[in-house]
Amino acid sequence: MRRAARHLLVAAAVAAATVAGAGAAWLGGREVTIDAAERRLHAYNAGVLLDANTVVHETLELLGHVAESAHPRCSEAQLTYMRQLVFRAR
């Protein structure tokens, strides 16, 4: 009987270690996955911000050209000029 109790104790210890190891692996894997996702998200956000800044600067440059045009404001000639600038923009 003593041998059976020892085997039962060993089996319980192995089961407990397995559960603890699985829990630790799950928590560690979760942390690594979250960190990797956060890094990808920050890189994506930086790219979006850079693109947005580029759009703002190009728009301001375009509006500057429109404001400096010799055509009367809101005239057909100025609107045509503005369309030409837009279509030539990057």
Domain segments of the chain: what residues?
A: 2-88
**CA–CA dist 71, 80 (Å, integer):** 10
**CA–CA dist 42, 40 (Å, integer):** 6
**What's the distance, Cα to Cα, between the start and end of the chain in Å?**
85
Q: Does 31 have pLDDT greater than 90?
A: no
What is the structure's pLDDT at 1? 64
- Residues with Cβ within 8 Å of 82's Cβ and at least 6 positions away in sequence, in order, are 62, 66
**What are 34-72's pLDDT values in tens digits?**
888 999 999 999 999 999 999 999 889 888 888 888 888
**CA–CA dist 61, 55 (Å, integer):** 10
Question: Residue 18 — pLDDT band, cuts 50, 70, 90?
Answer: confident
- Tell me what the mean pLDDT of segment 26-30 comes to: 79
- Tell me what the mean pLDDT of segment 2-17 comes to: 80
User: What is the pTM for the complete model shown?
Assistant: 0.54
Using an 8 Å Cβ cutoff, are 62 and 89 in contact? yes
